[in-house]
Amino acid sequence: MALRHKEDLEPLGTIQDAIPLQQGVSVGAVWTVSHVARRLGLAQARGTTRDGKLALWQVIARVIDQGSRLSAVRLAMAHAACAVLGLGAFAEEARYENLDWLAGTQARIEDRLFAQRQKTKPASLFVSDVTRRSVEGTQNALAAFGYHRAGTKGQRQLVLGLLCDKDGHPVSIEVLPGHTQEPQTFAVQITKVKARSLNLSPFVGA
C-alpha cells in the first residue's frame, strides 16, 4: 500500500478502517531459543514425547521470563510455544507433573548430554562445587540444618552439588540434604563420572 501510494501517503491514514488488525502470539523468542536448545543437544536429550517437549518448554520459559510455574503457563498462551514445539494445550497441573517426570529421567538426560559432548570433545578434567540455599517450611524431605557460609542460622537448607567439565559445560547437578558435607558431595559426583565414563569407554581418551 505504501509503494502504491508513495506519491500521496495520506490514504494510509485510514487503512485501519478498511483492514482489521489483530495481535497474534509471539513466535520469535520460542523459535530462537528452541533452535539454540537443539544445537546444544538439549532438545534431543529430553526426547520427542509430550513430557520431553514440555520439559523443553520449562527451559525455554525460564530463558524468556524468570517467572513462576504458573506464569510459564500464561507465557505459553502469549507465545507460540505449542505450535513451535508441537505441544497440545496444557494446564498448570501438567507442569508440576512434568517436574516429577524430569526428576525420574534426570540421570538419563544427563547421560545423553554427556555422551554427545564426549563424541566431539572428550573431557579429561572435571570441576566440582557446591552451594547452599535456605528453604522455607518443614515439609521438604531434603531440608536440614547445616553449615552455611553466609552465616544464616535457624533455617533449614539444601545443598546443591554441580559438576562441570573444564569448558564449563554442566555434567551433573545433585540436590542433597542440607547437612551434607562437601567431601560427600564430591564423592557422589566422582561416582557419577566414573560410571558414565565406563559406559562410554569408546569415547573416553579417543
Cα(80)–Cα(32) distance, integer angstroms? 12
Cα(47)–Cα(40) distance, integer angstroms? 14
CA distances from 119 to 50, 126, 162, 165, 202 (A): 27, 16, 22, 14, 9
Residue 89 near residue 156 (C-beta atoms within 8 A): no
**pLDDT for res 206:** 23
Residue 46 near residue 55 (C-beta atoms within 8 A): yes
61 alpha-carbon distance from chain centroid: 8
Tally of CB atoms within 10 A around 96: 11
Residue 64 near residue 75 (C-beta atoms within 8 A): yes
pTM value is: 0.72
Q: Given CA atoms 164, 45, 41, 91 in this order, what sign does their dihedral have?
A: negative
Cα(65)–Cα(75) distance, integer angstroms? 8
Per-residue pLDDT tens listing for the chain (206 residues) = 677 777 777 777 776 677 777 778 889 999 999 999 999 888 899 988 999 999 999 999 999 988 777 788 888 888 999 999 998 888 888 888 999 999 899 988 988 888 888 888 887 788 888 888 888 877 888 888 887 766 667 788 888 888 888 888 888 888 888 888 877 777 777 777 777 766 543 333 22
**pLDDT for res 38:** 92
DSSP-derived 3-state class of residue 58: helix
